[in-house]
Amino acid sequence: MELTNTSFLLLGMVALGPMSGYDIKQRADGSTRHFWQISYGQIYPELKALEKAGMVQTAEAARGSRQRTLHQLTETGTEALSDWLSDSTVTPVELRDEMLLKLFFSDSVGKEEQIQLARNMARRHREAASGLATQAPPHLDKPCPMRMEVLQFGIGLHSWCADFYDNLADRLSSPPPLGSPQPSRGGGRRAGGGPQDV
């Protein structure tokens, strides 16, 4: 069986403890959603496939007459997850952002519209950051430093983006008089030599 990244998300979640498909969705929405979304339409069929492939075991755990199927890793599943985690292949990060696409093509629209777009983008990222910040910290019974790091990453990333777009909107709102030095960007850009500063 060909395991996809989504399979590994499921295996990884199930490794955290016995879980139902519903549990996995809740957990993923509360943690991996910002860099790996997942829907029921993938979860339930894929869990069945993983069971068939001997990667997870299921146990009925109905509450009253409300059905509930818990999943846990088998040895095969543990090994598959472990192999994946140890694999050091470098894969590219994928980003898709309709608003950024708009911004890219917005040289032809009025300045007011550009500013509004930038502000909306800033707000979007500000909200994403505070959404993550509010996120229930995963169980503290077991230490999970990496999960915390990834959470901090998300918060930091969205904050950086929000700062960038707010700064852009500021600069569009009050263009500096010709010949005067640009005020430095509030946020990032310490690193990584820009392109010959065109």
Partner DNA sequence: GACGACATGTAAAGAGTTACATGATTAT
Partner DNA sequence: ATAATCATGTAACTCTTTACATGTCGTC
Site for a second copy in 14-73 (CB under 8 A): 15, 31-32, 34-37
- Under rule CB under 8 A, which residues in 69-128 are in contact with a second copy? 81-82, 84-86, 88, 90-109, 113-114, 116-117, 120, 123-126, 128
If the CB atoms of residues 66 and 96 are measured against a second copy, the closer one turns out to be 96
State the residues that interact with DNA by CB under 7 A: 2, 4-6, 20-23, 26, 37-42, 44-45, 47-48, 63-69, 96
Q: How many CA atoms lie within 13 A of 167 on its CB side?
A: 14
In angstroms, what CA-CA distances link 111 with 108, 116, 171, 173?
Answer: 9, 9, 11, 8
Could you tell me which stretch among 19-27, 46-54, 55-63, 179-187 binds a second copy (CB under 8 A)? Answer: 179-187
- In whole angstroms, the minimum distance from the beta carbon of 70 to a second copy comes to 19
Q: Which does 65 bind (CB under 5 to 8 A by kind): a second copy, DNA, none?
A: DNA
Sequence-ordered list of residues with C-beta below 8 angstroms from that of 151, at least 6 positions apart, any chain: 31, 132, 135, 137
CA–CA distance, 161 with 137 (Å, rounded to integer): 23
Euclidean distance between the first and final Cα of the chain, in Å? 51
